[in-house]
A = this chain, B = another copy of it.
Amino acid sequence: MSEIERGRGVALWSQIGDILADDILKGRLPQGQMLPSAQELATRFDVNRHTVRRAMATLEQRNLVRTEQGRGTFVQEQALDYPISRRTRFNQNMRNLNVDTDTEILEDARELPPTQVAEALGLGRNEYVYRIETMSRADGHIVDHSTAYFPAARFPGLPAIYRRTQSVTQTLNEFGITDYVRKHTRVSARLPDAHTARLMKQPANRPILHVQSINADPRGMPVQYGITRFSGDWVQLVLMAGD
């Protein structure tokens, strides 16, 4: 059973609210079902009934439950308020991360000074980069949110081509790069920043898979640096041996 912790910097009512919200959103508490009574939950979490009530208030606010005096509190049935996590598997070869997805371009590509990405792309101080932000869906569910950087000097006019082709492979191909390889990939588990959480419509306390990658041309020259943030609930990266 889930536990709560005192003095951790998160109010008890907030922790209890999160646990119950999670139970509801993950489907462990079916729609329409009556929750345990406030007194019962207070006993279970070893907390005062008022604290439970405060948690309930937030759930009611979020339209996750509905309370009826004298009867009880019930899981609010809802069609499409929050995406219920159905836990799909999204198997994709690491090398093909950027292709074959239903992508939406969030921001028109901009030319920027290469601050932190300079090193990754092997660029000097005053060489500019293009940045492209995208978001991909599968089955209508948001799967990832990516930021890709390209050296602007080497690929003049890249954004227009990318907008037309919607594919990294295609775009690079038009610049004569018929092959490129994943130079390396860094994977870490993180909590999303506020911006990403909002974009991906997921709570700030649900982890994401944060993938940094560098693609290089056959001569080993980096051609793309990217950051992809996968929904931790929806995605499992599958790393195949060999390929």
A residues neighboring B (CB under 8 Å): 2-3, 5, 8-11, 13-14, 17-18, 22, 25-28, 58, 81, 84, 86, 94, 116, 181-191, 193-194, 203-210, 230, 232, 235-242
Contact = CB atoms under 8 A, between A and B. Distances in A.
Contacts of A22: 191, 193
A53 B3 CA distance: 28
A210 B25 CA distance: 11
Nearest to A18: B191
B238 A186 contact: yes
Given A10-B10, A25-B190, A193-B26, A181 B232 contact: no
A235 to B, nearest CB: 7
A190 B16 CA distance: 17
Nearest to A198: B3
Contact of A11 (B9, B116, B206): B9
A148 to B, nearest CB: 17
Contacts of A188: 189, 209, 232, 235-237
Contacts of A3: 194, 204
16 contacts: A3-B194, A9-B11, A11-B11, A84-B239, A94-B239, A183-B241, A184-B238, A184-B240, A186-B239, A188-B236, A189-B190, A189-B209, A189-B210, A189-B232, A190-B207, A191-B207
A177 B132 CA distance: 48
B2 A9 contact: no
